[in-house]
Amino acid sequence: MINIIMAKLLASQTLLKNRYKIVGPIGQGGMGAVYRAEDTLLTGRICAIKEIAPDPDMEETSRQQIQEQFRQEASVLARLDHPNLPKVSDYFTQKGREYLVMDFVPGHDLRELITHAQQDEGFLKEAQVLDWADQLCSALSYLHQQNPPILHRDIKPSNIKLTPSGLLKLVDFGLVKVLTHDEARTITVVQGRGTAAYTPLEQYGGDDTHTDTRSDIYALGATLYHLLTGKPPATARERFLEPELLAPPREINPHIRPAVEQTILAALALHPGDRIADIETFQKMLHQSAGPLNTKPFVLPARDLDDAVRSNLPLILIAFSLLAIAILLTP
């Protein structure tokens, strides 16, 4: 495993590749940082730039390995095209650091919306969360159907943005993994361990050989759990020791439909073999379990009822006449 240390942030106005002018940092982690930047060749375009900064004391062989792996992964991401994924438009190396350029996504992330809901009404509406789930399932289905499949590996509310138009974007490909038949060639240059509450047990530690598309299903289930209850689920490691730590979602939010709860819990199974098999099945189960949003019987408004009677009065009179004749003729 390649170690990546905390890098010094780039200063504002730094120009990368003689094109991208740094505005300021969006976030920073052990792998590097993400910046907001201006594209000086396309006036008015704002982009997000992800920086990977290897340990400067690293051996040259390891550094070359990082560059090769980064370029492999970047070339894969640059080919992706889906409305719920930010578009990767460029990648390059400068002064020993690797850079990935993608669309800047405006709006609030879902972690912020959970906080706002808690301050206002308590919980996000289930119908809204299920609409978001549809968009996330569409993005993950697209990733998982690539050849070879691509895992996101860090699905969580803070990595999902709601744009002003209502479109979700699954951001931060920092933990993406390309599944290959030869695990020694699996791309790991920007790989991390994810965030504990959303990370399946098989993604812990240094052994990645058992992660597959069901690892993303676990993270998606944990994300929906958080969105619907306002609380992240107990971690997989905690649950391995004490299974009862995972509170059923309806114990926290009784407005969740029972079958929606069952779908989420099935996605959160500790063993991958016990989870829902694929994203398409997960989405189908959510829809089957959701049922109609309005379960009240339809009642025609009084004014519409009067109009209906007046417009169909001749037919109603004929029907009553035939009924009366039938009664009279019955011995």
Residue 236: name the closest of 246, 228, 247 by CA.
Answer: 246
* Alpha-carbon gap, residue 232 to 145, rounded angstroms: 28
Helices and strands (H, E) in the chain, number of each type: 10, 11
Token pair recorded at residue 286: 């959510």
CB count within 10 Å of CB 115 equals 13
Q: Which residues pair with 151 in a beta bridge?
A: 177
* Alpha-carbon gap, residue 171 to 89, rounded angstroms: 14
Residue 47: name the closest of 56, 39, 55 by CA.
Answer: 39
State the DSSP H helix or E strand holding residue 170, giving kind and residue range, or none if neither: strand 168-170
Residue 39 phi/psi, 5-degree rounding, is: -90, 105
Range 164-196 burial, b when 16+ CB lie within 10 A, else e: eeeebbbbbbbbbbbbeeeeeebbbbbbbebbe
Q: Which one from 39, 81, 103, 154 is the annotated catalytic residue?
A: 154
Handedness of CA 150, 153, 157, 161 (dihedral sign): negative
* Active-site residue, 81 included: no
* Alpha-carbon gap, residue 39 to 104, rounded angstroms: 11
CB count within 10 Å of CB 81 equals 9
So which residues are the catalytic ones? 154
